[in-house]
Amino acid sequence: MSYQERYAASMMNTFGPPNAVLTRGSGARVWDDAGREYLDLLGGIAVNALGHAHPAIVEAVTTQLQTLGHVSNFFATAPQVELAERLVALLGTPGKVFLSNSGAEANEAALKLTRRTGRTQVVAATGSFHGRTMGALSLTSKEAYRLPFEPLPGDVTFVPYGDAAALAEAVTQRTAAVVLEPIQGEAGVVVPPDGYLAAARDLTIRAGALLWLDEVQTGIGRTGRWFAHHAVPELLDAAPDLVTLAKGLGGGIPIGATIATGAAADLLEPGNHGSTYGGNPVACAAALAVLDTIAAEGLLDQVARTGKRLADAVAEAPEVAAVRGAGLMIGADLHADLGPAVVEAGREAGFILNSTGPRTLRFVPPLVLSDADVDAFAQAWPGILAAAGAPR
């Protein structure tokens, strides 16, 4: 039996048939079990910040496993403490960190923390994606994800993303928190209007509510900054109360982080929350290696430059109606409903692509993507679109 057949026989059908069986990777490229090479423009859904098999992560994980692998949270470890300190320093505002294993877990911790305010209502946005656990799912607006599991926990109000007036109407003195993605990823890389996040900060301050920014996909260099919200001057002066991270933080090793600032940093007390694996030294060592490498190799500047090069290459095709995003988080709308066909044609041409909707593509490649990688894709891009059946 092939691995595809064995997968179908042994794995729950939560993802449908896999597109391929991948066996190894290096940098921004991966290979399947037939030996075919692909340029990875999905990056494990914005996870593989340093690409595949990066020496810094391999060394950090190997060294840590040879020293101390897991101790539980009855004890502290140096990588755990050092990572928390680094994240707070990068955020630029005094705070404290809870470490977990994924973005959904980071958001679950943040949701529980909001309940410690004494309020229950959380205002979220249409188009949002915050995870698939029950609490995180209650904040995720897509009906196809929500309906099979309702009733969901929480007192959640959804408002149109980017609509400051609707947000102002929804936020009241009973609002515990407003949760927003600085750029929506699952929705197709949706960028809010200028002033929207600043308005959210002002509204929450006046209502005595928490501003919670889900940077699970946008954080750790993805947009060319450590945090996407650092592009908003008002949020440098008045930081969000909660920031959640995961994906690129571990560079492929599972880890999540919930950062709370100001008074919110002390809302969770002993017994309120926990995670057996969260903050384990191996995952923390990997995360520290990611942060060190991004800084040492100047990847924030590279992401800004390479991201523009990739966005320009995508936009040159007449089949593309619009391109948006920041850094290496790029969304592209097609004129026709060819998203899945483009993904398939891309794979046949040796490129791993992603479609978030019938006519929307998302590019979230490794941050180490090179100019040569972008040029290779740019050369193949017209043929991919033609093979997908795009009218010219």
pLDDT at position 363 is 98
Q: Is the pLDDT of residue 257 over 80?
A: yes
Q: Is the pLDDT of residue 178 over 90?
A: yes
Among 40, 214, 241, 373, the one annotated catalytic: 214
Q: Is the pLDDT of residue 391 over 80?
A: no
Q: Identify the CA nearest to 77 among candidates 277, 349, 345.
A: 277
Residue 31: partners with Cβ closer than 8 Å, 6 or more residues away? 22, 23, 24, 25, 37, 38
Phi, psi of 377 (to 5 degrees): -70, -40
217 is an annotated ligand-binding site residue: yes
Say which amino acid occupies 336: A
Among 227, 247, 351, 377, the one annotated catalytic: 247
Q: Is the pLDDT of residue 196 over 90?
A: yes
Say which amino acid occupies 52: H
pLDDT at position 154 is 82
pLDDT at position 360 is 98
Give the pair of three-digit tokens for residue 161: 């993303």
Task: Kindly state the percentage of the chain with pLDDT values over 90.
Answer: 98
129 is an annotated ligand-binding site residue: yes
Q: Is the pLDDT of residue 172 over 90?
A: yes
Active site annotation includes 247: yes
Q: Are strands 242-245 and 210-214 parallel, antiparallel or unpaired?
A: parallel
- What value does the mean pLDDT take over residues 280-307? 98
- What value does the mean pLDDT take over residues 361-365? 98
Say which amino acid occupies 143: E
**Gap between the Cα atoms of 170 and 158, Å rounded:** 8
> What's the pLDDT tens digit per position in 327-349?
999 999 999 999 999 999 999 99
The region, left, alpha or beta by phi > 0 then psi within -120 to 50, assigned to residue 188 is left
**Gap between the Cα atoms of 51 and 184, Å rounded:** 22
pLDDT at position 211 is 98
103 is an annotated ligand-binding site residue: yes
- What value does the mean pLDDT take over residues 217-238? 97
> What's the pLDDT tens digit per position in 45-85?
999 999 999 999 999 999 999 999 999 999 999 999 999 99
Task: Kindly state the percentage of the chain with pLDDT values over 70.
Answer: 100
**Gap between the Cα atoms of 244 and 214, Å rounded:** 5
Active site annotation includes 15: no
Partners of 97 in the beta sheet?
Answer: 259
359 is an annotated ligand-binding site residue: no
**Gap between the Cα atoms of 388 and 300, Å rounded:** 33
DSSP string, 71-97: --TTS--HHHHHHHHHHHHHHTS-EEE
Residue 195: partners with Cβ closer than 8 Å, 6 or more residues away? 164
Residue 124: partners with Cβ closer than 8 Å, 6 or more residues away? 130, 139, 140, 141, 156, 157, 158, 159, 178, 179, 180
- Of the pLDDT bands very low, low, confident and very high (cuts 50, 70, 90), residue 392 is low
Torsion of CA 150, 153, 154, 160, to 10 degrees: -30
391 C-beta neighbours (distance < 10 Å), count:
10
- What value does the mean pLDDT take over residues 157-180? 98
pLDDT at position 374 is 98
Domains of the chain in sequence order = 3-53+298-387 (3.90.1150.10), 57-296 (3.40.640.10)
Average pLDDT, the chain: 97
Active site annotation includes 194: no
309 is an annotated ligand-binding site residue: no
Among 40, 98, 129, 351, the one annotated catalytic: 129
Give the pair of three-digit tokens for residue 377: 């894709």
Q: Is the pLDDT of residue 390 over 80?
A: no
- What value does the mean pLDDT take over residues 381-386? 98
The region, left, alpha or beta by phi > 0 then psi within -120 to 50, assigned to residue 312 is alpha
